[in-house]
C-alpha cells in the first residue's frame, strides 16, 4: 500500500489506538474490543481495515484471532508513531505530576 494510503488508514484515532495496543505483543480481538467504548463489530471493522492495509498480522488459534502490529510494514511511520505515543505518555506524566503537586498543596 502506498504511504498515502497508510496515512489515511492510521489517521483514524481508534486505529492508532489499536496499533498502540498490539504494538509489542499479540492481543485477541476481544482484548482489543474491551479497550474501547464501541461495539465489538466496530472494532472488528477497524481491524479489517488495518489487516487489509497490511499494518497488522492475524494469527488464528481455535476460535480466537490474535492481532499484532506489523511495524516493518509501517516503515518510517513506525518511528513517527512511537515518538508520538512517547510524547503523549510524557504529557500524561506531566499532568499527573502537576495534579499530584496541586493535591499536596491542598493538603497543607
Q: Which three cell numbers stand for residue 61?
A: 488459534
* CATH classification for the domain delimited by 3-107, as one of 1.10.10.10, 3.20.20.30, 2.60.120.10, 1.10.3720.10: 1.10.10.10
Radius of gyration, alpha carbons of the chain: 17
Task: Give yes or no for residue 82 having a pLDDT over 80.
Answer: no
Strands across the sheet with 64-69, in order? 27-28, 64-69, 56-61
Counted residue by residue, the chain has a size of 108
Where in the chain are the domains?
A: 3-107
What's the rounded mean pLDDT across residues 66-95?
73
For the entire predicted model, the pTM comes to 0.70
**Residue range 9-58, pLDDT digits in tens:** 888 989 989 998 998 899 999 999 999 999 999 999 999 999 999 999 99
Amino acid at each position: 500500500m502506498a504511504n498515502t494510503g497508510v496515512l489515511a488508514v492510521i489517521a483514524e484515532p481508534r486505529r492508532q489506538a489499536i496499533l498502540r495496543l498490539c504494538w509489542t505483543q499479540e492481543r485477541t480481538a476481544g482484548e482489543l474490543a474491551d479497550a474501547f467504548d464501541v461495539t465489538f463489530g466496530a472494532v472488528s471493522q477497524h481491524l479489517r481495515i488495518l489487516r487489509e492495509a497490511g499494518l497488522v498480522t492475524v494469527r488464528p488459534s481455535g476460535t480466537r484471532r490474535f492481532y499484532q502490529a506489523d511495524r516493518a510494514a509501517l516503515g518510517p511511520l513506525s518511528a513517527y508513531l512511537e515518538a508520538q505515543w512517547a510524547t503523549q505518555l510524557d504529557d500524561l506524566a506531566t499532568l499527573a505530576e502537576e495534579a499530584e503537586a496541586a493535591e499536596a498543596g491542598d493538603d497543607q
